[in-house]
Chain A
Amino acid sequence: MGFLHRHRGLTPYLLLAPGIAWLALFFLVPLGFLAYQSLESGSIDFGYAFNWAWGNYWDAIHNYRRQFIRSFEYAGIATVLALVISYPVAYFIAFRGGRWKNLLLLCIVAPFFVTYLIRTLAWGTILSDNGFVVRTLHDLHLLGSDGRLLATSTAVVAGITYNFLPFMALPLYVSLEQIDSRLIEAAEDLYASKLQAFLRVTLPLSLPGVVAGTLLTFIPAAGDFVNAQLLGGTKQHMIGNVIQAKYLELIDYPAAAAMSFVLMAVILILVLAYARAVGTEQLTG
């Protein structure tokens, strides 16, 4: 302890050390290999050679522009939906949950225990063309008589939203839970309506949770491939699907690597822009 007192400035680095070391070794170093691979060219038959193949990057952007844009669209819509859907529930658990808080949180992550594939197949059963849901929508004329819910972009976005709900709901809850309800009472004592109290006290205080949730949802969703594969039709593939195919079927490792870096770069740019918009204090406190 005395050591730390004398070297105050060291504390953050000591705190960071174990986690960052882990990430450095098991993420950054592999990422380095990936970067090297992205500048190779060749094929599985004749081998790969490093030759500053920047063309891989250009090809990635040029040939798969449509899938890139589609991925950001789907991820973006899903993130907004997840936020709108989850916020009231996170609020409910934080302020009304009482001793059931942890139980309700467990319910939120429960779908993860049955594996992606099984819960998506279950949705397939529920939303089947001949199932109760679709038939009801037909009867209510909300869906054309030969319309369907599955194998559409709606299904893919709905799937992404559903599968990333916990990533949005949990950070929101975490941030809402710490808000002292006396602050809200104080606002109301000062003649704010419930709505005003929410908008001017609760919402701003929960902003770190909103930012955390949106990032934890949007970023991985952009690279997702499973939802498009299991819920989409013939025109819904995302960039994750293309990268997967490049790696496994075409065995074109440099192309897959380059596409991944393009994806990461765009996501990073979007994140920086987002951080600037909300103010970096929400990102770092």
Chain B
Amino acid sequence: MSAVATAARQRPRVGARAWAFTRHHALTVYSALFFLYLLLPIAVVMVFSFNNPSGRTNYTWERFTWDNWIHWDDVPGIRSAIVLSLEIALLASVVATVLGMLIALALVRYGFRGRGTTNLLIFLPLSTPEIVLGASLVTLFLNFNVVFGFWTILIAHIMFCISFAVVTIKARLIGFDRHLEEAAMDLGANEWATFRKVTLPLIAPAIFASLLLCFSISVDDFVVTYFNSGNEVTFPLFVWGSARVGAPPQVNVIGTAIFVVALGAMLINILLQTRRSKGAE
């Protein structure tokens, strides 16, 4: 190689390194700002959870109190509402993710008749306005004399979560390297074992993302739930209903508590795993 070419390659390298340094940290700074922006309203909600208002409206900061956190379920109906919401969200996200994963596998890995239509079908529930979606589901349930309550809510939630699960997991399956699976099968594993030990772990991030997304959608749903809930009250139903007189601070407590608890659980998990892998070294 000529000396000129070598020198030319060295100059960009220094500049490239400086550029890389800025970029490396810029990304971190940007991401930090992003999370700040994302969680800013949550911070405000949390602050107001410690408010002790004189009236029944929680819009003006008055004085600090631990009361709302200590007596977090001192509002009749709020405890059963959040428990119901969490139960439904947990079940719905698991079932929707499983069903969605199966559909995603079929769509991405196999050519079959009706593939295009199926793809389109997946997007239809997303495009249907919630009010007619909820109302027409009521019609179905009434025609079958189904009693409204826990099961109708669950069925509805699974229904509208499937599309999210399919699309999320598909994003992982497209471009998935099948050679690993083929290698496993060459080594004697059957389809099920290959799936369990090779495929599943590799698409685990997508499954986790799908669970998270479906859980969030379910725990926040109002319109479809309202029509199909009968006498049951979920957390969003309670919150929207309380808006007429003013949501009590306990609503703020519960909303932020879920996040804090989940965050705490994850942190502990991470620290334990770090400890374990350090111990293994």
A residues near B (Cβ < 8 Å) are 1, 4, 9, 11-13, 15-16, 18-20, 22-23, 25-31, 33-34, 37, 85, 88-89, 91-93, 96, 99-119, 122-123, 125-126, 162, 165-167, 170-171, 173-175, 177-178, 193-194, 205, 208-209, 211-213, 215-216, 219-220, 222-223, 225, 239-240, 243-244, 247-248, 253, 256-257, 260, 263-264, 267-268, 271, 281-285
A residues less than 8 Å from B247 (CB atoms): 117-118
**Contact B30–A89 (Cβ < 8 Å):** yes
User: Is the beta-carbon distance between B38 and A15 smaller than 8 angstroms?
Assistant: no
Count chain B residues whose beta carbon lies closer than 8 angstroms to a beta carbon of A: 104
B129 is contacted by which of A27, A96, A174, A263 (Cβ under 8 Å)? A263
Whether, in the assembled complex, B65 has its beta carbon less than 8 Å from a beta carbon of chain A, the answer is no
Q: In chain A, what residue has the closest Cβ to B135? A: A247
Return chain B residues, CB-CB under 8 Å to A88.
27, 30-31, 34
Partner of A26, one of B130, B159, B171: B159
Contact: A170 with B209, CB < 8 Å?
yes
Are B263 and A244 closer than 8 Å at their CB atoms?
A: no
Instruction: From A26, A92, A119, A177, give the contact of B27 (CB < 8 A).
Output: A92
In the bound complex, how far is the Cα of B104 from the Cα of A20, in angstroms?
Answer: 11
Q: Which residues of B contact A91 (CB under 8 A)?
A: 27
What's the dominant secondary structure at chain A's contact region? Answer: helix
How many contacts between A and B, using CB within 8 angstroms? 295
What are the residues of chain B within 8 A of A12 when measuring CB–CB? 106, 109-110, 112
A104 CB, min distance to chain B CBs, angstroms: 8
Neighbouring B residues of A285 by C-beta, 8 Å: 107-109, 170, 173-175
CB contacts (< 8 Å) of B34 on chain A: these are 85, 88-89
Q: Which residues of A contact B75 (CB under 8 A)?
A: none
Q: How far is the CB of A178 from chain B (nearest CB, A)?
A: 6
User: Chain B contacts of A175 at CB under 8 A?
Assistant: 171-172, 174-175
| Nearest 9 A/B pairs, CB to CB | A114-B255, A285-B174, A30-B136, A112-B216, A19-B99, A122-B41, A12-B110, A15-B106, A285-B108
A34 to chain B, nearest CB (A): 4
Q: Does B88 belong to the interface (CB within 8 Å)?
A: no
- Provide a sorted-by-A list of 8 A–B residue pairs whose CB atoms are within 8 angstroms: A12-B106, A105-B208, A105-B209, A110-B263, A116-B222, A240-B129, A244-B131, A256-B132
Contacts of B155 in A (CB 8 A): 26
- CB-defined contacts of B38 to chain A, threshold 8 Å: 107-108, 110-111, 162, 165
Q: Which of B110, B205, B240 is A11 in contact with, Cβ under 8 Å?
A: B110
Residue B137 is within 8 A (CB to CB) of chain A in the complex: yes
Contact present for B103 and A16 (CB under 8 Å): yes
Chain B residue with Cβ nearest A253: B135
B23 close to A (CB within 8 Å): yes
Cβ distance A152 to chain B, nearest Cβ, rounded Å: 18
B190 & A118 in contact (Cβ 8 Å cutoff): no
**Complex contact B108–A284 (CB within 8 A):** yes
Given A1-B192, A33-B136: A283 and B105 within 8 A (CB)?
A: no
A20 touching B121 by the CB < 8 A rule? yes
Asked whether any CB of chain A lies closer than 8 Å to the CB of B50, the reply is no
> Are A223 and B99 also in contact (CB < 8 A) when A15-B106, A106-B266, A113-B258 are?
no
Interchain CB contact under 8 A, B131 and A26: no
| Complex-state Cα separation, A110 to B39, whole angstroms | 8
Known: A92-B31, A219-B126. A194 touches B23 (CB 8 A): yes
> Told that A105-B208, A212-B167 touch, could you supply 16 new A-B pairs with CB distance under 8 A?
A19-B103, A20-B118, A22-B158, A34-B132, A107-B38, A109-B216, A111-B42, A113-B216, A114-B252, A126-B40, A174-B206, A215-B167, A223-B129, A225-B129, A267-B127, A268-B123
